[in-house]
Amino acid sequence: MPSVTWGVIQGHKEKLCEEEHNSCFGVLGKNWISISKLGGFIKSYPQVLHASVIVELVPVVKFLRGLDVEREDIGDIGPMVTQYPYFLGMRVGTVIKPFIDYLVSLGLPKKILAKMLEKRAYLLGYDLEETIKPNVDCLISFGIGRECLPSVIAQYPQILGLPLKAKLSSQQYFFSLKFKTDPEGFARVVEKMPQVVSLHQNVIMKPVEFLLGRAITPHDVASMVVKCPQLVALRVELMKNSFYFFKSEMGRPLKELVEFPEYFTYSLESRVKPRYQRLKSKGIRCSLDWMQNCSDQRFEERLQGNYIETESIGPTFLIGGKLNLPGNAILSDEEEESDDEVLYRRTVSL
């Protein structure tokens, strides 16, 4: 009799396990991963088989859906799940929601957070109290403005998980030594291009040495770097081509490059040359800023006018052109975007 009872119990337990696994597969297949890919996913993250669908998986899915983090049909694989499946085992109330709430409190819109998490789900693995909050405090202590924190994080989300104090200290000293940049100037550099905290110093010096070799004074090079930090991540070969065109074809004085170093960040073939040729054909003489720092639509509007509008202080492109940097932000050519839209554009290429 006991053996029969034991067999019934075992059979019931196995049936419950099978039902739970089937339920788990259903949730994953419906929301994240195609059935054909489930086998490989289970091999890489078998812990999911022990997760309670009702208690763990469903709340996570529902919460992230509320952030507009939806399934993307990239090879029939949910990018978040395959990239960092461990978040499926996280508690919404004690891990995910506090993470989201804190970043929202810094000024990051949920739309931006959703894009960040779709691209880098492992951000959820950063410890909020031990890593994220201390790193945010560290940024502020180094002079980064609180109002700039959303932009800094959106451009370079990994900054939340770096050994940041050591990196900032090292780079700040380097900028002080090589460029005579004061702490305030270094803070502006980080605000404009936070990836600078992780750039190797020999990489930074290559474009700097190129500029110094073009008879630009160390003081002017330093001001160019502070104004447009993206210079230190450019390929020297491209800078050479742009500089040659600037001197030989455009025949402009060096002071214009010092005033508008963003010139180097624009594509020579697709932007600089075509616009210069258009201006030349119309006999229009203008500054580099007026020529390049506007959308294609605005540029055409300027050409159709019989005057050159007065340049005024206003919103500028933090990144001159479309700069190919790992994790770098790319501003759209569209104009008059809201702050949220600008941040969204910056996270598209994260």
Claim to verify: residue 189 and residue 68 sit in the same structural domain: no
- Whether 343 has a pLDDT exceeding 50, the answer reads no
131 found inside a domain: no
Number of domains in the chain: 2
- Whether 121 has a pLDDT exceeding 70, the answer reads yes
Per-residue model confidence (pLDDT) at position 321 = 42
Distance of CA 260 to the CA centre of its chain: 24
Per-residue model confidence (pLDDT) at position 330 = 31
- Whether 115 has a pLDDT exceeding 90, the answer reads no
The whole domain housing 17 covers 2-104
pLDDT bucket at 335, cuts 50 / 70 / 90: very low
Claim to verify: residue 58 and residue 174 sit in the same structural domain: no
Structure tokens at 89: 């085992």
- Of 48-57, 70-79, 211-220, the range with the highest mean pLDDT is 211-220
253 found inside a domain: yes
- Whether 190 has a pLDDT exceeding 50, the answer reads yes
Residue 168 φ then ψ, to 5° = -65, -40
pLDDT in tens, 123-164: 989 999 999 999 999 999 999 999 999 999 999 999 999 999
Claim to verify: residue 200 and residue 302 sit in the same structural domain: yes
Claim to verify: residue 226 and residue 319 sit in the same structural domain: yes
- Given the structure tokens 């507009």, which residue do they identify? 68
**Mean pLDDT, all residues of the chain:** 77
Asked if 156 contacts 195 with a C-beta cutoff of 8 angstroms, the reply is: yes
Of 160, 137, 173, give the one whose Cα is nearest residue 350: 160
CA–CA separation, 187 vs 244, rounded Å?
A: 32
Per-residue model confidence (pLDDT) at position 9 = 41
Per-residue model confidence (pLDDT) at position 328 = 38
Structure tokens at 114: 């959703």
- Return the SS3 of 64: helix
Per-residue model confidence (pLDDT) at position 95 = 86
pLDDT in tens, 18-64: 555 555 555 565 555 555 666 666 666 566 555 554 456 666 666 66
pLDDT bucket at 246, cuts 50 / 70 / 90: very high
174 found inside a domain: yes
140 found inside a domain: no
145 found inside a domain: no
CATH at 224: 1.25.70.10
- Given the structure tokens 């990489």, which residue do they identify? 203
pLDDT bucket at 13, cuts 50 / 70 / 90: very low
Per-residue model confidence (pLDDT) at position 336 = 40
Per-residue model confidence (pLDDT) at position 341 = 43
256 found inside a domain: yes
123 found inside a domain: no
Domain edge (last residue) among 104, 139, 168? 104
Helices (H) and strands (E) in the chain, counts: 18, 0
Would you call 180 exposed, middle or buried from its count of C-beta atoms within 10 A (0-12, 13-18, 19+)?
Answer: exposed
Per-residue model confidence (pLDDT) at position 53 = 47
Residue 74 φ then ψ, to 5° = -105, 95
Average of pLDDT values for 218-246?
A: 96
Claim to verify: residue 57 and residue 203 sit in the same structural domain: no
- Whether 238 has a pLDDT exceeding 80, the answer reads yes
Of 257, 327, 271, give the one whose Cα is nearest residue 116: 327
Average of pLDDT values for 315-329?
A: 39
Domain edge (last residue) among 104, 139, 171? 104
Average of pLDDT values for 1-26?
A: 49
- Does 341 or 91 have the greater pLDDT score? 91
137 found inside a domain: no
Angle between helices 201-212 and 236-244 (to 10 degrees): 20
CA–CA separation, 245 vs 272, rounded Å?
A: 9
Per-residue model confidence (pLDDT) at position 45 = 59
CA–CA separation, 13 vs 19, rounded Å?
A: 10
Q: What percent of the chain has pLDDT over 90?
A: 50
pLDDT in tens, 247-272: 999 999 999 999 999 999 999 999 99
